[in-house]
Structure 1
């Protein structure tokens, strides 16, 4: 054994010497990882584009998007002008929650390809100046992960404490609500060891026990594995729930109405984030994003206050959880949310700005008007909002085309575990299934997950096979191929907005202030940096309306509008978006 070890060491030294000689003698330019060369706060000025890989582009005809499909569209992604891609989970998974139930954090799901495909994707992105942000899903794992398989074998298994268990002889565990479970109980009884395990989400997504330092170290090793491959950061899924109060206090009966208050403020949450920063993030120049950030601006600031050394960007939900459509909650209330957050974050910390993602319906269907008359106009107006606000824009794939909700009529068409489980629960209780389907036409996550619309060929050019989820029938008129040729399309307007954002840093760091804040129809604000001043006016309605800016605009110049001819200053046409420099 000693001789073998000495021999192996000698071989390693020889190979290292050869490698050093090759490096010094080669005239080939060495590629430096982007996470070394980038400025430390590159994520502030980045435009992040989210790709839902299952629905983006299928390369092999199995009806499921994959890594090779994304590789084939890298030039399209570069043409958008975006700086980074947030890629939803591609790890090995039984796919109960479309990849958010991970059974192996270091391998690629076969549906998506291989690690070699991933390496080619990362290389292709970096060659085009695009960074890669991956999902870090470590509030829970899959119940098919080896850790959980071991954990449930016996009560004295070394992995037992990797999860939260409650022995049945102690009685029924204190009730906890589950986001996805049919029976809405987050404790699942397991006969093998006569115990219950905790799952805030699906019963196939047992919650990891972050109170166990071994779990934390396992996660840090996983993070280093991907960061050392050269990725540029993580979006941390559901991490605000990672810390649990393991005294399991009895909670109010209706606590799920304010679940973030009880689930998102664990006693050691920020201790874990500070430890994570010390052990991992501080050693790399990468982006770190917290999905969910408490229930108030003050909560969110705790995640990203630079003095606390935790994360970079807070991704709060208040602006999307407010209701199902802009008409339900009103524009004034919506503006108040952004004003509160901006007042908290104006001097330090950093926010994400977004209107849609894989857990939301389509942007234009929720905050705009997806009718034939107004879909394109309101889509452009909403894109203007995302790309002129203060913070890092997160933009969901397909929204640059104005993709809309598909509005399935039958539960059989839905794939989402949340929708299907809630339907089953309602069916068991004798609830109104027709009303439920009508609601899901507006709110289901599957609305945002239909295949990307590339052209007007079969299945929108997404796949030559049967797509895993139906394609929206409007693909014949809403697709990349048609919009690339139309200078007035949603796609080309989106590109203009990104170019504008990059021409000046005012939309990244300039001061933000509401204008005519009580106007029920118009969301207007200024962006100011020294002598540089911009006014953004957005009509969120299908009627012509007016605004009292209180600003002298006699010498104002039009920068961009979603109409070929804008109205008289102060008057706005339906869903008009106008940017003025004054």
Structure 2
């Protein structure tokens, strides 16, 4: 089937925008963002050119891990509003032609969830097997050597029932036993609850954690471990994650989605390319988009990025659709990783690569990680491992809307502080500035929507030269050449084995837009170009 005849689904043509709800917009003055705050900012997202919104968890929760410890999968935490507020949000999103993706956390619940309260009440409770309970070894020690991502052993002793339960994250987040058919049915029913309301899909938290080795074999030591790494990395999680049976679970979830019209599933999966690809499933029976986090960890080096893009493109299964991510709520912000100037080049890379891009709120204005004093740290990962500076708070700070108090985020003191420069670095200051980061994002999004070559076109690599990364996006006779200087120094670009002419459509330095291109050009440091090529 020719590409032109294929039907591209909405999530293939979309740009996804992640909202961390605590930090986007506060509507009631309690210092924490909420659903009505998101509703009030939908016009901004529509103006920016966003197609789909992914919202981090909003469910009832004791907030031990800020909503990733869920005590009720079919409600809304009062901090964020009500189910009626959610229904209104969904209606307003759809009224603007956008889609809404919810975070789903099926690996673990809160220890306050009614399921776990029943499970730990006695060894013979009907829900005992809904979680992972095991006896101590003969010497009283933990069942095996598995570690918690947040530090220490992943086993917690329950004095009342004299057994350990497993928690891959906090002890307040016990893992569900996905081998139990009743657990499977209960969680699939949760999906149906939200799908019946009209949500357009789910981002599934820690998808690769959902099944554990039945034999509870010890994880092997990590030969590359160094003392400055998190304690979790002392071991290779060979038996506690990415087990073969997980794909059966993902297939079940996919079948639920496929019983509705054009719903989708994103999988959070931190794995190497070869293992990541297995989450597409056979015959597309897995996640529509297993999240591709390669750009979060790669050195900012043209040769390495070009090679990895090629490996990723080459590994995609037939019908598998690519996706790219530059930032999220668990990682340092892109501007802090590569610097202000290169963040503009990174935006151009994200929004011109083949596949579905995800933008993290605030990246479009160049928000940086904010220094959070030790006494203000909220994140359990940071509190549990203070010496390693692993807090995720710096990348979760409130959205900077304007130069008013608290950046226009809240009338009260926000749950996390804003940076000192928010009065200069904010949406309002950048909206009318043609040289701003926000204007660059908006131009790139507009061009991406208008041009099939940038939206659904093929990816053709151009061999990297020094720190210049370049490639062509093509659809039928339409072609765009993307040229990105990943260094701070000027370079001369002349592609090998390629002869092409055209005009610059978008440049990180807007003065060059409209300039003719005749098979070669000079680029300033930190410069990127999107060149519309003439038909061959």
* TM-score above 0.5, yes or no: yes
The match for 2:227 is: none
Q: Is the 8 A contact 1:261 1:294 kept in 2?
A: no
State the SS of the aligned residue for 1:475.
coil
Q: Identify if the C-alpha distance between structure 1 residues 279 and 158 changes in structure 2 by more than 3 Å, giving closer, same or farther.
A: same
C-alpha contact 1:136 1:237 (8 A) present in aligned 2: yes
How far apart, CA to CA, are the structure 1 residues paired with 2:270 and 2:28? 39
TM-score (norm 1): 0.84
Task: Kindly indicate whether the alpha-carbon contact (under 8 Å) linking 2:298 and 2:304 is maintained by their aligned counterparts in 1.
Answer: no
On the 8 A contact 2:321/2:355 being kept in 1, the answer is yes
The 3-state SS of whatever aligns with 1:92 is coil
Q: Distance in 2 between matches of 1:526 and 1:273?
A: 34
Aligned twin of 1:357: 328
> Residues 516 and 547 of structure 1 are in contact (CA less than 8 Å); yes or no, is this contact kept in structure 2?
no
Contact 2:119–2:131 (CA<8 Å) still a contact in 1? yes
Partner of 2:253: 276
Match of 2:20?
Answer: 52
Specify which structure has the higher proportion of helix.
Answer: 1
The CA deviation at 1:545 is 2.1
The equivalent of 2:380 in structure 1 is 417
Q: Does the CA-based 8 Å contact 1:48-1:392 persist in structure 2?
A: yes
Deviations along 1:94-141, one digit per CA (max 9) or x if unpaired, are 111111110111110111011111111111111011100000101111
Q: Could you tell me which of 232, 236, 243 is aligned with 1:266?
A: 243
Aligned position for 2:366: 402
Q: How far apart, in 2, do the equivalents of 1:69 and 1:167 lie?
A: 47
Are the aligned partners of 1:536 and 1:579 in contact in 2 as well (CA < 8 Å)?
yes
Following superposition, the deviation at residue 496 of structure 1 comes to: 0.9
CA distance in 2 between partners of 1:346 and 1:104 (Å): 36
The equivalent of 2:112 in structure 1 is: 144
User: Per the alignment, in what secondary structure is the counterpart of residue 445 of structure 2?
Assistant: helix
Residue 549 in structure 1 maps to residue 519 in structure 2: no
1:562-573 alignment to 2 at 5 Å?
A: 562-566=508-512, 569-573=520-524
1:130-153 deviations in whole A, cap 9, x for unaligned?
100000101111111111111111
Q: Secondary structure at the match of 1:246?
A: coil
- The residue number in structure 1 matching 2:208 is 240
Give distance in 1, aligned partners of 2:54 and 2:213.
31
Is the CA contact 2:247–2:281 (under 8 Å) kept in the aligned structure 1? Answer: no
Contact 1:59 1:463 survives alignment (8 Å): yes
Does the CA-based 8 Å contact 1:346-1:511 persist in structure 2?
no
- The residue number in structure 2 matching 1:495 is 442
Match of 1:387 in 2: 351
**Distance in 1, Cα, partners of 2:8 & 2:116:** 38
1:196 alignment partner in structure 2: 164
CA distance in 1: counterparts of 2:145 and 2:522, whole angstroms: 54
Say which of 304, 307, 311 aligns to 1:333: 304
What aligned pairs does 1:336-485 form with structure 2 within 5 A after superposition?
336-345=307-316, 347-366=318-337, 368-369=338-339, 375=340, 377-408=341-372, 410-423=373-386, 433=387, 436-437=388-389, 444-485=391-432
Quote the Cα distance in structure 2 between the aligned partners of 1:516 and 1:548: 11
Q: Do the aligned partners of residues 141 and 40 (structure 1) sit closer, same or farther apart at CA in structure 2, a change above 3 Å counting? A: farther
Matched residue SS, 1:193: coil
Secondary structure, aligned partner of 1:120: helix
Q: Which residue of 2 aligns with 1:174?
A: 144
Aligned residue for 1:140, secondary structure, equals coil
Return the offset for 1:552.
4.9
Asked if 2 retains the 8 angstrom alpha-carbon contact of 1:534 and 1:580, the reply is yes
Q: Which runs of 5+ in 1 are unaligned?
A: 1-38, 370-374, 424-432
In the TM superposition, residue 314 of structure 1 has moved relative to its aligned partner by: 1.5
Taking the aligned partners of 1:445 and 1:544, their CA distance within structure 2 comes to 35
Call closer, same or farther: CA 1:258–1:301 in 2, change over 3 Å.
Answer: farther
Q: Indicate the residue corresponding to 1:251 in structure 2.
A: 219
* 2:101 equivalent to 1:133: yes
Q: Distance in 2 between matches of 1:209 and 1:384?
A: 42
Could you give the per-residue CA deviations for residues 498-543 of structure 1, whole angstroms, max 9, x where no partner exists? Answer: 11111122123322133233x3422211112232221111112222
CA gap of 1:471–1:521, structure 2 versus 1, over 3 A, is: same
Residue by residue over 1:77-96, the C-alpha shift from the partner in whole angstroms, topping out at 9 and shown as x without a partner, is: 11111110000000001111
Structure 1 partner of 2:295: 319
* 1:77 pairs with 2:41: no
Superimposed CA distance per residue, residues 241-278 of structure 1 (whole angstroms, 9 cap, x where no aligned partner):
10111211122122836746544321311111122222
Structure index of larger Rg: 1
State how 1:17-166 maps to structure 2 within 5 Å: 41-166=9-134
- Partners of 2:192 and 2:256 within 8 A in 1: no
Q: Aligned equivalents of 2:148 and 2:111: distance in 1?
A: 16
Structure 2 distance, partners of 1:318, 1:161, is 37
Give the direction of change, closer, same or farther, for the CA distance of 1:158–1:385 in structure 2 (3 Å limit). Answer: same
Deviations 1:399-439 (A, max 9, x none): 1111111133x32232211111111xxxxxxxxx4xx44xx
Q: What's the RMSD between the two structures over aligned residues? A: 2.0
Preserved CA contact (<8 Å) 1:455 1:476 = yes
Equivalent pairs, count:
511
Match of 1:521 among 460, 467, 483: 467
- For residues 524 and 236 of structure 2, the distance between their equivalents in structure 1, rounded to whole angstroms, comes to 40
Who is 1:7 aligned against? none
Q: Matches of 1:257 and 1:133 in 2, distance apart?
A: 35
Say which of 513, 517, 526 aligns to 1:575: 526
> What residue number does 2:3 align with?
none
Provide structure 2 residue ranges, at least 5 long, that are not aligned to the other structure: 1-6, 224-232
| Residue 310 (str. 1) matches residue 274 (str. 2) | no
Matches of 1:300 and 1:281 in 2, distance apart?
Answer: 21
